[in-house]
């Protein structure tokens, strides 16, 4: 984390400096960049990685001071802070960032729970939707006539995962490749649903956050206390100890 913060800060300084230079010369970065070598491609990739970090600190920094620090360092001038002072400052900055992120996550979790609870309450009354004792909701889109997997089985499935706003975060259909994984190696909502399904069935699942990723969320796609919606098709049961493959998007169903 300590490395990420100064990296993002440097990126902002570089971006601002380059923008200033371009304004003076009338040139644009798009006209000057040529990604025709490994070095140029690596440089561009590093820039992209830096750019993804800016959101973390842009409201907490003074860009003019960043530019001055960059210029002093690049020109080999005497620095206005000692290495120890900079280290102490960045440690305090990191602590502040963590505290702000914690507050933000708590606010997101509260909002996510309120929206999720309302959605499930409304959805529960819809035609064809059934609710289990755990709170899992499902709707049978297609009945199966095969066997039902046990928790110790491995299954082959097709699925699409989305949020209550309709945003799709994962889909084996889009990859044109079924996903194989152990029944007891995924989120609780999946584990429960799979043991109720028969091979050949296709269900729509409405999974409460507590049966998915709870208040921690998962990656960038799934926020805290998010209700997850899946269309899940049970294709086959494999009587093996471990899965050969798993969903590419680990956020979608795997336990964390």
Of 186, 189, 200, which Cα lies nearest the Cα of 148? 200
Do the beta carbons of residue 176 and residue 127 sit within 8 Å?
A: no
Residue tagged active-site, from 169, 181, 206, 237: 169
- At 130, which helix (H) or strand (E)? strand 129-131
- At 115, which helix (H) or strand (E)? helix 83-124
- The span from the CA of 48 to the CA of 5, in Å, is 15
Catalytic-residue membership of 74: no
Strand partners, 56: none
Side-chain half-sphere CA neighbours of 8 within 13 A: 21
Distances (CA, A) of 187 to 42, 53, 54: 37, 29, 32
Residue tagged active-site, from 50, 138, 159, 181: 159
For 236, phi then psi, to 5°, come to: -160, 155
Residue tagged active-site, from 170, 181, 206, 222: 170
Write the CB contacts of 104 (distance below 8 Å, at least 6 apart in sequence).
Answer: none
- Secondary structure of residue 71 in the 3-state scheme: helix
Catalytic-residue membership of 213: yes
Catalytic-residue membership of 159: yes
Residue tagged active-site, from 50, 138, 181, 230: 230
Indicate the burial class of 10 (C-beta count within 10 angstroms; 0-12, 13-18, 19 or more): middle
Catalytic-residue membership of 170: yes
Catalytic-residue membership of 156: no
Catalytic-residue membership of 230: yes
User: How many other C-beta atoms can be found within 10 angstroms of the C-beta atom of residue 225?
Assistant: 24
238 is written with which tokens? Answer: 């494999």
Residue tagged active-site, from 12, 66, 156, 187: 187
Which residues form the catalytic set? 159, 169-170, 187, 213, 230
């Amino acid at each position: 984390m300590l490395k990420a913060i100064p990296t993002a800060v440097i990126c902002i300084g570089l971006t601002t400096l380059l923008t200033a230079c371009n304004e003076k010369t009338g040139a644009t970065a798009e006209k000057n960049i040529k990604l025709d070598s490994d070095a140029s491609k690596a440089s561009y990739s590093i820039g992209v990685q830096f750019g993804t970090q800016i959101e973390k600190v842009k409201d907490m920094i003074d860009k003019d001071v960043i530019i001055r620090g960059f210029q002093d360092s690049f020109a080999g001038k005497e620095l206005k802070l000692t290495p120890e002072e900079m280290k102490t400052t960045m440690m305090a900055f990191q602590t502040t960032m963590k505290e702000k992120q914690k507050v933000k996550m708590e606010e997101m979790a509260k909002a996510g729970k309120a929206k999720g609870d309302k959605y499930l309450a409304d959805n529960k009354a819809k035609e064809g939707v059934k609710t289990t004792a755990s709170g899992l909701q499902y709707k049978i889109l297609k009945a199966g006539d095969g066997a039902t997997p046990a928790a110790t089985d491995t299954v082959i499935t097709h699925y699409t995962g989305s949020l209550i706003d309709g945003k799709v975060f994962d889909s084996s259909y889009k990859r044109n490749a079924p996903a194989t994984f152990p029944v007891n190696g995924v989120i609780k909502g999946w584990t429960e649903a799979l043991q109720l399904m028969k091979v050949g069935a296709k269900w729509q699942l409405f999974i409460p956050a507590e049966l998915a990723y709870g208040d921690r969320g998962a990656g960038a796609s799934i926020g805290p206390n998010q209700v997850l919606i899946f269309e899940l098709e049970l294709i086959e049961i494999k009587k093996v100890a471990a899965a050969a493959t798993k969903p590419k998007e680990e956020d979608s169903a795997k336990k964390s």
